Chains A and B, each alone.
Chain A
Amino acid sequence: MDNTSLKAKPPLGGYRKTFGDTTLQEMTGLAIIAIATSNGGAVKVPGRDHNQLAVSANDPLDAPAPGTSNVIHQDQIAIRLLSLRQDLILAVFTAQNNRNAIEALRNKFGRTIPITDQSDAWVVLGLSGPLSESALERICSIDLHQDVFANGDLAQTRMEHISTILFRSGDEAFQIFAPRSYARSFLHAVETSIHNVR
């Protein structure tokens, strides 16, 4: 059978909705790659003490500190690295250059680095606009004040019993990663929150 018989389907079918100036939309077309950066020797970077945490500025991995992110450009591909913990980074980039980007990641971090494609494991909701922070206040226990949770910061947290990753992409903009199978429950939770604060 040819490949036209298998059509990719985003978890929420490409949902997008505006609530006044606030927008909630499913972010599709993202590649999400889990990278094991350091784990008791899991990544054997030559010349590097693999028991050291990959957080210092001089780290050969250029890994951001846990809870923060940065954007690297490798082989002309912009890749955002979300550091979830000391040994795990999510690399997020547009999926058009998926294979090139994965190759770029290998070029960047080494051929033996354990990477795992997670692109289908998450639904990503983009929430932006003036209501975004107050809406999240209803379901997210993280302190979202910008002095505490600045642009580029991220946190793994639970919202409405769902394990999520919250990433601040702008002053009034967030990206929230939730497990794909929870997509509809999670969308409902966020929609309800926006409604409740409008």
Chain B
Amino acid sequence: MRGYEGDTLASALLANGERLIARSFKTHRPRGIFSAGSEEPNALVQLRRSAFTEPNTRATTTQLYNGLAASSQHHRGSLKYDLMAFMDLVSPLLSAGFYYKTFMWPKSFWESVYEPLIRAAAGLGRLSGAADPGLYDKGFLHCDILIIGAGPAGLAAALAAGRSGARVILADEDFSMGGRLNRDRYEIDGARAANWTAAALAELQSMDHVRLAPRTTVWGAFDHGIYGAVECVTDHLPAMPAKPINQDRDEDHDHDRDRDRSPSKTCKPRQILWRIYAQRTILCAGASERPIAFGNNDRPGIMLAGAVRSYVNRWGVAPGKHFAIFTNNDDGWRTAADLANRGVKVRAIIDSRDIAPPHSTGDAEIIMGGRIIDTKGRSGLRAITLANGQQIETDCLAVSGGWNPNVHLTCHHGSRPLWRDDICAFVPAPPLPAHTPARMVLAGAANGALTLYAALQQGHTAGAQQAQELGFTPTSSTAPRAQDEPAATSPFWHVTQSTKRAWLDLQNDVTVKDIALAYKEGYRSVEHVKRYTTLSMGTDQGKTANIPALAVLAKLAGTSIRDIGTTMYRPPFTPVTIGAFAGRARGTNFRPHCLPPSHDWARAQGAVFTQTGLWQRAQYYPRPGESHWRQTVDREVLQTRNSVGICDVSTLGKIDIQGDDAAQFINHIYCNAFGKLKIGKTRYGLMLREDGMVMDDGTTARLAQTHFIMTTTTANAAAVYRHLEFCRQCLWPDLSVHLTPVTEQWAQYAIAGPKARTLLQKIVDPAFELSNDAFPFMACAEITICGGITARLFRISFSGELAYELAAPARYGDALIRTLMSAGKDDGAAPYGTEALNVMRIEKGHAAGNELNGQTTAHNLGMGQMVSKKKDAIGIVLSRREELCRADALRLSGFIPKDRAQQLQAGAHFIAKGQEASTQQDQGWMSSTAYSPTLGHSIGLGFIRAGADRHGETVSAVDLLRGRSIDVEIVSPHFLDPQGERLHG
């Protein structure tokens, strides 16, 4: 098939004589091209092939390019001989709401028969089933004035605002700006409209502060002057992206490999989802033509009259050979005039109005007060039949039922448009109703100004006024001059004499009878009728169907369209590809990743990584010969307990707290005492929420009189900092204290095990004494390592071993892990990951995320005695609530299987032996479990009622999800070294 640059797929199809384009949704009726824009209900095609394919794309908005692949959809067999066409024969069974009344019996048929059949028949086009390989991006734009629509009003507004110096974005969904100036033969300022448009665009293009955005649909109006828009960037270009750079990235974000994948070899995003921040908005979205309902009004060859003008005037395509016009307004006559001027034969003009013909148009037969009651032609229009029995042969019927201002965006905040009798249409009549997007004004056809000069004037005035209100000097130029064309219309919606099916919603096969049936069955609200009949629920959202359907409903109800009102218009204005919403956030780029300082080294060791929050942490470091993760983790634990292990703990939150009142501040934050913490000492702290539940825990070291460093759990680093800032700024603004998050500043390694000190002595500069006396458990110091590099050392232990945490500036993090491993080589130092870390903390009985789940108290955790009785701190008061301090409250306990060979599982609930596993019998739950290589069997931590007093008792750990029940003994949560001899060693 051949086409020309500037063609749409629809214009090219018509030029090549293709009239049958699609099949209808329910009844598989033949359908052709109905419109020339985004309101198209019929001509939906499957674009492109393989994974790039896109179903349900409007041929009327698809810009033609060389090599474009498009196919018809929604048929079995060929388009012309669709095997599913029998659906039309059974259409009486497919009336409104049929799916609510059928498929009821037998019940067993629903999933086995009906649903598969319905699914196979429904859906119009098909997805490829493969991931969309197209590229998408997002972006942010700012402007003084956003002008939506580049028709005459939009162009006039942009010129006025742009000449004033305002920053303007002019967006239009069409690839060729100009709106109806592309379609109609007007004169503006004494020149042809096309020439005026070209000059206007050239002037706007020359302004640095004006951004022209063709192929950009503003699809939603949101709060505070923010608009959503989609720009189709490369959809009209032949080449498709070969391999997107922003997908399938290495899981660990291998930077070097990314560099090899040169972006220059790949293509650009096909679409960009813009978020536009506008101080003012001028909606110049124009108007959409609506049809008239009459018998068999859905055949290929029946088109909107304005669309016929578009094909003839813009694309030089005659959609037929023998035309007829059916109109209820003056605009339909302009189609006849344009066709005649182009030398195209118009056989008849049928005007529903009983008035004198507004024009004389060639030799066309003029039938005033006429009605079309039926049409003929299975796969394309052949003839029309009038109410008086006259039959007229025609292969293209141009229908005009008047114009609907495109007010959709004004309604996205909840406002409803108002009816104007003079134009028989809804408009947001001034003053703009409540819930219209703030600082939005309208101009042109969208505002009900359906004639050219009125549109130009309104656009010019709006552009100048908005610019002036924003402080720009208004332009001295005047509105472009033009003539107002005749635009009288009449409220004629439906040929009642017609006994045949008359379609209102072509896309969803909703007829006048369907609306009548819905009304007969008691549906009165337009919203209910919509949902019952599926009216205006397709990709076109009923842009051509809505108003005629409302008119039919109003007539049935004996009221007016004004009183019936419209359904609610919601975003998006036209369909938006899901990929555009995802943008570049796909696959491994769904979210950013944080890499700790040892990441490169760990990768080189073959570490297996796990995601903790956004952090990529080494989970374990398998060695040759280790075929199961448990082997690796067991080894890491035993090496640490017997020698020394090293773990990157940089991910723990670190907050620098300085100020004269820093100690007082921390004392208010933690529930245990901190005011008298000595310089050079570290203390474990428990942080409560206001409700008394545990929020987080960690250690805080006092580096100087007015200087502390607080650590948090990895998961809560941001939340704790936010909490602290709230306390500082809102609760105690008088305290002299300042907070700086320094998690990123320091690379921090845990060095744990009996040989930890030996290893550290090789790293720490000799001036610093590491002996137990000089640097005991819970000591901290600012030191130097490796010949003068500033570092911080904390003698704290999560593993229960003699342990330190060594922090150095992050730039040395990579070198430090290598140096530590090298220094510990002779002592059998091993890196350990988060799995071994978890095993060792369970062995030691330390609470972590599973235990600090936001539902536990200090009392539950066995730390009730830590809650100070001598001071006030956040959460203390409410932690003393009687119910929370009951003697039989849940207590953190240890659990071991009676049969040591059995594996415990987190999530199991504790039930007294022999009792039914029910909520009433539930005594608590297992929160963390691990295989302890130190003890040689599975161990667990969990919460059980009065657990501290029940050591030695046996209960059942019941896991209903996995269907397991294990007898477990309640023991101390401190499985290893309960006296702390190791960590004090």
The reply to whether the CB of B913 lies closer than 8 angstroms to some CB of chain A is: no
The reply to whether the CB of A40 lies closer than 8 angstroms to some CB of chain B is: yes
Q: Are A36 and B734 in contact (CB under 8 A)?
A: no
**Interface flags, B720-746, vs A, CB<8A=1, else 0:** 000000001000111111101011111
Q: Are B659 and A118 in contact (CB under 8 A)?
A: no
Q: How far is the CA of A103 from the CA of B227 in the complex (A)?
A: 49
- Of all chain B residues, the one with the shortest Cβ separation from A180 is B744
Q: How far is the CA of A11 from the CA of B594 in the complex (A)?
A: 12
Kindly state the interface size class of chain B when it binds its partner. Answer: 35 or more
Give the chain A neighbours of B269 by CB distance below 8 A.
Answer: 196
Contacts A5-B815, A6-B785, A188-B589; A195 near B744 (Cβ below 8 A): no
Give the chain A neighbours of B789 by CB distance below 8 A.
Answer: 3, 6
Q: Are B819 and A116 in contact (CB under 8 A)?
A: no
Give the chain A neighbours of B585 by CB distance below 8 A.
Answer: 160
Contacting residue for B744 out of A44, A160, A179, CB 8 A: A179
Q: Are B823 and A39 in contact (CB under 8 A)?
A: no
Q: Are B253 and A3 in contact (CB under 8 A)?
A: no
- Of all chain B residues, the one with the shortest Cβ separation from A194 is B263
Contacts A40-B733, A40-B735; A8 near B812 (Cβ below 8 A): yes
The reply to whether the CB of B787 lies closer than 8 angstroms to some CB of chain A is: yes
- Of all chain B residues, the one with the shortest Cβ separation from A183 is B595
Which candidate, A57-65, A75-83, A141-149, A167-175, is the interface stretch facing chain B?
Answer: A141-149
The reply to whether the CB of B606 lies closer than 8 angstroms to some CB of chain A is: no
Contacts A1-B786, A188-B258; A180 near B738 (Cβ below 8 A): no
Give the chain A neighbours of B264 by CB distance below 8 A.
Answer: 195, 198
Contacting residue for A39 out of B246, B738, B786, B808, CB 8 A: B738
Q: How far is the CA of A2 from the CA of B957 in the complex (A)?
A: 55
The reply to whether the CB of A53 lies closer than 8 angstroms to some CB of chain B is: no
- Of all chain A residues, the one with the shortest Cβ separation from B274 is A137
- Of all chain B residues, the one with the shortest Cβ separation from A162 is B592
Q: Are B763 and A1 in contact (CB under 8 A)?
A: yes
Contacting residue for A114 out of B658, B812, B822, B823, CB 8 A: B658
- Of all chain A residues, the one with the shortest Cβ separation from B254 is A184
Contacts A1-B819, A40-B736; A148 near B142 (Cβ below 8 A): yes
The reply to whether the CB of B139 lies closer than 8 angstroms to some CB of chain A is: yes
The reply to whether the CB of B656 lies closer than 8 angstroms to some CB of chain A is: yes
Q: Are B810 and A120 in contact (CB under 8 A)?
A: yes
Q: How far is the CA of A7 from the CA of B812 in the complex (A)?
A: 6
The reply to whether the CB of B322 lies closer than 8 angstroms to some CB of chain A is: no
**Interface flags, A156-198, vs B, CB<8A=1, else 0:** 0000111000000000000000011111111111011111101
The reply to whether the CB of B167 lies closer than 8 angstroms to some CB of chain A is: yes
Give the chain B neighbours of A182 by CB distance below 8 A.
Answer: 592-594
Q: How far is the CA of A187 from the CA of B819 in the complex (A)?
A: 28
Q: Are A5 and B786 in contact (CB under 8 A)?
A: yes
Contacting residue for B745 out of A10, A114, A121, A148, CB 8 A: A121
The reply to whether the CB of B962 lies closer than 8 angstroms to some CB of chain A is: no
Contacting residue for A5 out of B139, B746, B811, B819, CB 8 A: B819
Contacts A121-B745, A140-B140; A3 near B593 (Cβ below 8 A): no
Give the chain B neighbours of A191 by CB distance below 8 A.
Answer: 258, 263
Q: How far is the CA of A144 from the CA of B143 in the complex (A)?
A: 11
The reply to whether the CB of B277 lies closer than 8 angstroms to some CB of chain A is: yes
Number of interface residues of A (CB under 8 A): 62
Give the chain A neighbours of B732 by CB distance below 8 A.
Answer: 40
Contacting residue for B596 out of A4, A181, A187, A188, CB 8 A: A181
Give the chain A neighbours of B595 by CB distance below 8 A.
Answer: 181, 183-184
Q: Are A188 and B786 in contact (CB under 8 A)?
A: no
The reply to whether the CB of A119 lies closer than 8 angstroms to some CB of chain B is: yes
Number of interchain pairs (Cβ within 8 Å)? 178
Contacting residue for A118 out of B736, B742, B788, CB 8 A: B742
Chain A nearest Cβ from B112, distance in angstroms: 45
Chain B nearest Cβ from A56, distance in angstroms: 20
- Of all chain B residues, the one with the shortest Cβ separation from A36 is B738
Q: How far is the CA of A181 from the CA of B594 in the complex (A)?
A: 5
Q: Are A34 and B736 in contact (CB under 8 A)?
A: no
Q: Are A118 and B246 in contact (CB under 8 A)?
A: no
Q: Are A185 and B745 in contact (CB under 8 A)?
A: no
The reply to whether the CB of A117 lies closer than 8 angstroms to some CB of chain B is: yes
Give the chain A neighbours of B594 by CB distance below 8 A.
Answer: 179, 181-182, 185
Q: How far is the CA of A119 from the CA of B266 in the complex (A)?
A: 36
**Interface flags, B104-124, vs A, CB<8A=1, else 0:** 000000000000000000000
Q: How far is the CA of A196 from the CA of B141 in the complex (A)?
A: 16
**Interface flags, B769-795, vs A, CB<8A=1, else 0:** 000000000000000011111000000
| Centre residue among B140, B272, B808 by max chain A CB count within 10 A | B140
Chain A nearest Cβ from B161, distance in angstroms: 16
Q: Are B734 and A114 in contact (CB under 8 A)?
A: no
The reply to whether the CB of B137 lies closer than 8 angstroms to some CB of chain A is: yes
Contacts A44-B736, A117-B745; A1 near B659 (Cβ below 8 A): no
Chain A nearest Cβ from B588, distance in angstroms: 10
Q: Are B589 and A120 in contact (CB under 8 A)?
A: no
Q: Are B137 and A138 in contact (CB under 8 A)?
A: yes
Q: Are B815 and A7 in contact (CB under 8 A)?
A: yes
Q: Are B138 and A39 in contact (CB under 8 A)?
A: no
Chain A nearest Cβ from B139, distance in angstroms: 4
- Of all chain B residues, the one with the shortest Cβ separation from A9 is B814
Contacting residue for B656 out of A5, A42, A116, A198, CB 8 A: A116
Q: How far is the CA of A56 from the CA of B737 in the complex (A)?
A: 23
Give the chain A neighbours of B249 by CB distance below 8 A.
Answer: 188
Chain A nearest Cβ from B190, distance in angstroms: 37
The reply to whether the CB of B809 lies closer than 8 angstroms to some CB of chain A is: yes
Query: B125-163: which have CB < 8 Å to A?
Result: 135, 137-142
Q: Are B596 and A192 in contact (CB under 8 A)?
A: no
Chain B nearest Cβ from A29, distance in angstroms: 10
Contacts A181-B594, A181-B595; A41 near B734 (Cβ below 8 A): yes
Give the chain A neighbours of B167 by CB distance below 8 A.
Answer: 145
The reply to whether the CB of B58 lies closer than 8 angstroms to some CB of chain A is: no
Chain B nearest Cβ from A131, distance in angstroms: 12
Q: How far is the CA of A34 from the CA of B245 in the complex (A)?
A: 36
- Of all chain A residues, the one with the shortest Cβ separation from B590 is A161
The reply to whether the CB of A93 lies closer than 8 angstroms to some CB of chain B is: no
Chain B nearest Cβ from A11, distance in angstroms: 8
The reply to whether the CB of B382 lies closer than 8 angstroms to some CB of chain A is: no
Chain B nearest Cβ from A105, distance in angstroms: 14
Query: B737-762: which have CB < 8 Å to A?
Result: 737-738, 740, 742-746, 762
Q: How far is the CA of A193 from the CA of B269 in the complex (A)?
A: 10
Q: Are A41 and B736 in contact (CB under 8 A)?
A: yes
Contacting residue for B738 out of A42, A121, A181, A187, CB 8 A: A42
The reply to whether the CB of B268 lies closer than 8 angstroms to some CB of chain A is: yes
Q: Are A9 and B811 in contact (CB under 8 A)?
A: yes
Q: Are B745 and A6 in contact (CB under 8 A)?
A: no
Q: Are A116 and B787 in contact (CB under 8 A)?
A: no
Contacting residue for A6 out of B266, B268, B815, CB 8 A: B815
- Of all chain B residues, the one with the shortest Cβ separation from A118 is B745
Q: Are B786 and A192 in contact (CB under 8 A)?
A: no
Chain B nearest Cβ from A69, distance in angstroms: 19
Give the chain B neighbours of A186 by CB distance below 8 A.
Answer: 592
Q: How far is the CA of A125 from the CA of B659 in the complex (A)?
A: 32
The reply to whether the CB of B684 lies closer than 8 angstroms to some CB of chain A is: no
**Interface flags, A7-31, vs B, CB<8A=1, else 0:** 1111111010100000000000000
Q: How far is the CA of A182 from the CA of B744 in the complex (A)?
A: 10
| Centre residue among A2, A10, A137, A196 by max chain B CB count within 10 A | A196
Q: Could you jot down 22 A-B contacts, CB within 8 Å? A: A3-B786, A5-B819, A6-B819, A9-B811, A11-B810, A12-B255, A15-B255, A34-B740, A36-B738, A39-B737, A40-B732, A42-B738, A44-B660, A118-B740, A119-B811, A120-B811, A121-B810, A139-B139, A160-B585, A183-B595, A186-B592, A196-B137
**Interfacial residues, chain A to chain B (CB-CB below 8 A):** 1-13, 15, 17, 34, 36, 39-42, 44, 87, 114, 116-122, 137-145, 148, 160-162, 179-189, 191-196, 198
Apart from A6-B808, A141-B275: 17 A-B pairs, beta carbons within 8 A: A1-B763, A1-B819, A5-B819, A5-B822, A8-B811, A8-B812, A8-B815, A40-B728, A114-B738, A119-B809, A138-B139, A145-B167, A181-B744, A185-B593, A186-B592, A187-B255, A192-B584
